Amino acid sequence: MFVSFPRRAAVLVSSCAVALVAATLASAPQEGLAERFGHHLTAPAPELAHGHLALPPEAGSTPAPIPHPGQVAVCAEPGRDEVVTLPDPGAPEEEGRALWIRRPPGPDSADLPVLYLLHGSASSHRTLMDADVGARLDQQMCRTGVEFVIAAPYGQESGGATTEWGDAHDGRFALESFVTGATVAAVEGEYPRPRSLRAIGGFSMGGYGAAALALRNPDLYSQVASWGGYFRVDDPHGTFGEDADPHSPDRLLDSEDVRDLRFMLVEGREDHTPLQDGSIHGEAERFSGLLTEHGMTVATIRPRGGHDLATWKRTFPETVDFLVAGWASTP
């Protein structure tokens, strides 16, 4: 589950219906997208969209899947779930660390995008599975006509500390290494993807982790989706020790290597989840401003709701549109 106060203490559940949010968000040049997508990517604009999209100068092209809205295999057959266990000395279970993989029907290939997902501090990959994240994303694959693999590793450690999806300074666990190494190898196998077809996303602590890992490993990922994330170090259990700055997304924007990363930031309007200093409220706006200052692509959505999966899942259409636009951004 996803926590509100404190982050590992209480579950915040949405109690009211929430309107769909945000009009279509696409950051690729419109000429190229119009030819590939036609007008199939989005439904009519939903009400009360509180977001903006900032575009950098023209970037280089990336390999592109060709959309076939309503005509891909996942429209007729759901994705296939598999939970594998990978060796990891820092895993809370002796047999290793779990990894949920959901693949669309049909064979794997190097041109099939992958979305890596990181869960929150008081949840697991099973939380995402039980919340039908896979089925909800299947729906978006069918709508957009672009299928992709979903992969979510288990990010807890045996002592119950918040891992921040990092490598512990004292060697207790090494989750950044696991996500960027063993996880990618297990998901992609003999069909390694180019970075242009890899995205990393996450919820709450996972939203922080997605931003941090992408900025620390820009050779691996081209897009980031953060739901209810924060973009400064909030490390109550001292994962990073005394030297936390190299893990703070807002301090990792100066390198030219990260300039073509694309960010989708989602923050509920009622999200006031406490951090060690302040709260999550306003983090998306603050980080969006920093990304814009650095000439990077960023889209933000402020849906009605708080710090919970019910709120975040309602933004899957806009988020998948954003990712597909990046994957299909050839001239």
Express each pLDDT in 228-244 by its tens digit.
999 999 989 999 999 89
Instruction: Locate all alpha helices (DSSP H) within the chain, ordered by sequence.
Output: 30-37, 125-130, 133-144, 175-177, 184-188, 205-216, 283-293, 309-313, 316-327
Instruction: Give the global pTM.
Output: 0.82
- pLDDT tens digit string along 242-294? 989 999 999 999 999 999 999 999 999 999 999 999 999 999 999 999 999 99
DSSP string, 200-266: EEEETHHHHHHHHHHHH-TTT-SEEEEES--SS---TT-TTTT--GGG-GGGS--SGGGTT-EEEEE
- The token pair at 230 is 């924060």
Per-residue pLDDT band for 63 (boundaries 50, 70, 90) equals: low
Residue 34 has pLDDT above 70, yes or no: no
Residue 50 has pLDDT above 60, yes or no: no
Query: How far apart are alpha carbons 259 and 291 in whole angstroms?
Result: 9
How many residues are given for the chain?
331
Query: How far apart are alpha carbons 111 and 125 in whole angstroms?
Result: 25
Query: How far apart are alpha carbons 174 and 60 in whole angstroms?
Result: 33
Question: What is the CATH code for 30-327?
Answer: 3.40.50.1820
Residue 217 has pLDDT above 90, yes or no: yes
Give the model's pLDDT for residue 235.
Answer: 87
Per-residue pLDDT band for 57 (boundaries 50, 70, 90) equals: very low
Q: Where are the domains of the chain?
A: 30-327
β-partners of residue 202 are: 118, 226
Residue 23 has pLDDT above 90, yes or no: no
Which range (2-6, 129-133, 254-258, 291-295) has the least confidence?
2-6
- Mean pLDDT for 165-194 is 97
